[in-house]
Amino acid sequence: MNRPFFIALDFDEHAKRHRFLKSFAAETLDVKIGMELFYREGLSVVHELKEAGYRLFLDLKLHDIPNTVGRTMRALAELDVDVVNVHAAGGKAMMEAALEGLDAGTRAGKQRPKLIAVTQLTSTDSRMLAEELLIDKAMDEVVVRYAQLAQESGLDGVVCSAHEVPLIRAACSDRFLTVTPGIRRQVDQVGDQVRVVTPGEAKALGSWAIVVGRSITAAADPLAVYREMNQDWKGATEH
Ligand code: C5P
């Protein structure tokens, strides 16, 4: 799978998503279905986008007891999506069960979806880590340890900030994948993302894939912005 550029389809209305995707008619897209879209439109949106030929990242961030996550992953594998995820905070047994479930649910002749783990949400800051989650380690240390735990559990990679990619690449194997949101063009508003990078910077830092939402979905001309950002992503020197 060459390096994906996932567009986050975070729309609050069916019609908006349709209009948006229609403007990309001629492009082969990688798209991310998040919780909002999945819980609103259900399995039909997965089938529809799969049939349209898009590569799909089903971003449902599972976190439950190992048995439940394993059985759920078995069901998700049957959807034949490309990437699914869990929270690393669910622990090793849960991540291993997720992987076993995916293996068991992948149909003969199909590729198992890649399984990645969320390390710490980018909305979690050091204060929250210490005061609310009672984790007394530095954020970098927590993120790297969670990435190693994901790797030890057999997962394919992690979701993380592009700024954390060099640390994770140093601590994990070369084949371990990093998927990074928090991507903007130089000219964009940052929004609620705290630390952002451009697609080219993400690639230079070593990101395997990027996730871009509002820079494209809220643009006056989404196709033009997508092409510009994709050019930056594809054209940048790989780390
Ligand atoms: O609009 P924006 O480009 O900030 O969208 C980023 C996307 O990546 C959203 O769908 C968001 O849910 C997702 N995401 C994130 N930070 C994480 C994990 C996922 O921003 N740590």
214 lines ligand 1 (CB under 6 A): yes
Structural domain count, the chain:
1
Residue 182 Cα to ligand 1 midpoint, Å, equals: 6
Nearest 5°: phi and psi at 8? -80, 115
pTM of full prediction above 0.75: yes
Coil vs helix vs strand at 111: coil
Residue numbers of the domain that contains 9: 5-235
Q: What share of the chain is helix, strand, coil (3-state, %, to 5)?
A: 45, 15, 40
CB 176 within 8 A of CB 157: yes
* pLDDT tens-digit profile, the chain (239 residues): 789 999 999 998 889 999 999 999 878 899 999 999 999 999 999 999 999 999 999 999 999 999 999 999 999 999 999 999 999 999 999 999 999 999 999 999 999 999 999 999 888 889 999 999 999 999 999 999 999 999 999 999 999 999 999 999 999 999 999 999 999 998 886 666 667 899 999 999 999 999 999 999 999 999 999 999 999 999 877 66
Residue 34 Cα to ligand 1 midpoint, Å, equals: 9
Diameter over CA atoms, the chain:
50
Token output for 14: 């069916």
Domain CATH code at residue 205: 3.20.20.70
